[in-house]
Amino acid sequence: MAFAPSPIPSRTQFVLEAIKHGILTGGLSPGQALVETELAARFGVSKTPVREALKTLAGTGLVVMSQFKGVTVRTVDAGMAHEVYEVRLLLEPEALRRSLARHASLDAARDALLRADEAVDQAERSLANREFHRELYLSCGNPLLTRMLDEVRDQAALVSTVAWAADPSWDREADEHREILRLALAGDAAGAALALHDHIASFVRRAFPEGDQI
């Protein structure tokens, strides 16, 4: 018999989302120390929800816990970026292909694309972009495949955040998103999957040439 995971307490969830927002918008920089007492004071909570939030974020790959350095925001380099994006390249186009084979609705993906176009700041744009990609694979029909892609979403968003700080290439990526959606709506599963593969591959090649670090 399978048991559902226990829900995260509300204070822990609040702290978790606040720290994640800071990381994914660049407010908390890669390598920056995350001190429990300072975060607890900032959010008006005890250290317990902060500690639990940091453990969860370590599990998603956004922070690193070290016996000597404490907790820090994960540093993004070419090796890390290529590892994360290799997983996306292997899985995401196939998941999109399967979603289209199941005649999945693309309304939510279209809505996310519109929100990204109308975003007033980087945080809003980043969230909309993440939702656009997720809506492409969400209906693939394989829960394990969906979970595997969900598990790298935060790390992929961190890679994008760091890359955009050096080169804000949102307009180019928005055009590529529109082309992926156009092909998908036209029923061209192979074309949409190829466009998605090229979109993911070109971004990481452009932003993180092998051997470089941002």
Give residue 211's region: left, alpha or beta (phi > 0; psi -120 to 50): left
Q: First CA to last CA across the chain, in angstroms?
A: 46
- With cut-offs at 50, 70 and 90, classify the pLDDT of residue 109: very high
Query: Does the structure show a pLDDT above 70 at 3?
Result: no
C-alpha distances out from residue 149 to 4, 13, 60, Å = 20, 22, 12
Report pLDDT for 191.
Answer: 97
What structural domains does the chain harbor?
10-73 (1.10.10.10), 78-207 (1.20.120.530)
- With cut-offs at 50, 70 and 90, classify the pLDDT of residue 141: very high
- With cut-offs at 50, 70 and 90, classify the pLDDT of residue 164: confident
Condensed to tens digits (0 to 9), the pLDDT of residues 4-30 reads: 444 556 889 999 999 998 888 788 988
How does the average pLDDT of the chain come out, rounded? 89
Query: Does the structure show a pLDDT above 80 at 121?
Result: no
Asked whether the beta carbons of 166 and 69 are under 8 A apart, the reply is no
In the chain, % of residues over pLDDT 90: 61
Query: Does the structure show a pLDDT above 80 at 159?
Result: yes
Indicate yes or no: pTM above 0.85. no
Condensed to tens digits (0 to 9), the pLDDT of residues 64-104 reads: 998 888 999 999 889 999 999 999 999 999 999 999 999 99
